[in-house]
Amino acid sequence: MTRKSKLIIIVYTITILLSVMYATQPLQPLLAKEFDVSMTKASTFTAVIMLFLAISPIIYGYILESVKTKTVLKIALITLLITNFALSLANSYEVFLTIRTIEAIVIPAILTGAMTILAKDKENTKLNMSIYVAATVFGGMVGRVFSGFIAEEFGWRIVFISLSFALLLAYYLISKIEFRGDAELVKPKMLDIVHILKDKRYIVIYTLMFIVFFVFAGLLNILPFRIKELLPNTSETQIGLLYLGYGMGIIISLTIHKIINFFKKEIRTIVTGLSIFLISTLMFLSTNALILFSVVFIFCVGMFTIHTVSTRLANSLKASQRGLTSGMYLSFYYIGGAVGSIIPAIVYDKFGWNMTILLFATLLVFIMFFILLSRKLFKAYN
């Protein structure tokens, strides 16, 4: 099998995987009504996967000492195929959430396996990692946009049946790949974690990404409910289209070197991204649905600029322990997303939309000052 064919298969698998992760997001108002639950409970369908993505770098490092990447991918994909079909049959909130929890356990294993295959191509590692990021962004966008359309046209249960068929194709294609390597899993020791956190630069980066993804995941998670509040007759297709702005992440991830060159320094680029992110967050105070749709594009530009530069920064500070530092980065990132998928929903439910946006803005102003006060720690990047 050629390198190009293998790359296409991995990109397809990642795209479908991220579609599975985020398919529930535009459907949350519909699922809340279907299962007669609150906005906060409906938000857990996405939050549970974020939580397992956060703890998986630690758990898998201890559970799976040495395991074949292809075996991991095949078992996890067939499990995901079965659970997605089961979701289409779920008739209660408890059953739906239980099945999503099973999915949350296997999704990180597929991401780890896919990344391992891409990273083994030493000659094209940097390009492959950029493609990996772009594929995750594209999958997140496709999952949200198409689930809204399919749910409106054919019903929400068909969303998960169609994803099962897509996963069946992914399983077939992965079984054709020739790859014998082990999955690259980090087994962290508490001493190593403490040693990394003694470097204040990592505390800055990890805090930054916790807050940024808290705001990003939180706002996009409750946005469908806000649109329904402003325009009760909004269809699932229209809600799905809200997430088209997510596609800006593909452009940012593939052109980040040019963006950094324009701003000269990484920290300056991060501060610029934060400024865009903060301004666009405040623009969500608008009650005009068309403005809210447009602001998502600007919002995503800010977020993915910060995320892409921070990832590069976190991976370049230490030549050793790169696996652990990147694993910890993802843990802080997804813990922020998991908490962000729940807390803002509670605030929105209790205190309203404007107060929720104020919460987001306050956190972003705090992290902006924290970055500016800490910029001297990054002399080589400043």
Are 115 and 207 in the same domain? no
Q: What is the pLDDT of residue 368?
A: 94
Are 210 and 269 in the same domain? yes
Which of residues 152, 168, 187 is at a domain's end?
187
Are 365 and 238 in the same domain? yes
Q: What is the pLDDT of residue 216?
A: 95
Are 130 and 255 in the same domain? no
Are 183 and 214 in the same domain? no
User: pLDDT tens, position by position, for the chain (382 residues)?
Assistant: 677 888 899 999 999 999 999 999 889 999 999 999 988 898 888 889 888 888 876 676 555 556 677 888 899 999 999 999 999 999 999 999 999 999 998 888 888 778 777 767 667 766 777 788 788 889 989 999 999 999 999 999 999 999 999 999 999 999 888 766 665 556 667 777 787 778 788 899 999 999 999 999 999 999 999 999 999 988 889 888 988 988 898 888 888 888 888 888 888 999 999 999 999 999 999 999 889 999 999 999 999 999 888 887 776 666 555 567 777 888 888 899 999 999 999 999 999 999 999 999 999 999 999 998 888 877 655 5
Q: What is the pLDDT of residue 260?
A: 87
Are 182 and 200 in the same domain? no
Are 118 and 236 in the same domain? no
Are 97 and 22 in the same domain? yes
Which of residues 187, 204, 226 is at a domain's end?
187
Are 121 and 260 in the same domain? no
Q: Number of folded domains in the chain? A: 2
- Specify whether the CB–CB gap between 139 and 170 falls below 8 A: no
Are 322 and 289 in the same domain? yes
Instruction: Tell me which amino acid residue 295 is.
Output: V
CATH at 225: 1.20.1250.20
Are 123 and 230 in the same domain? no
Q: Which domain holds residue 367?
A: 189-382
Q: Is the pTM for the entire model greater than 0.85?
A: yes
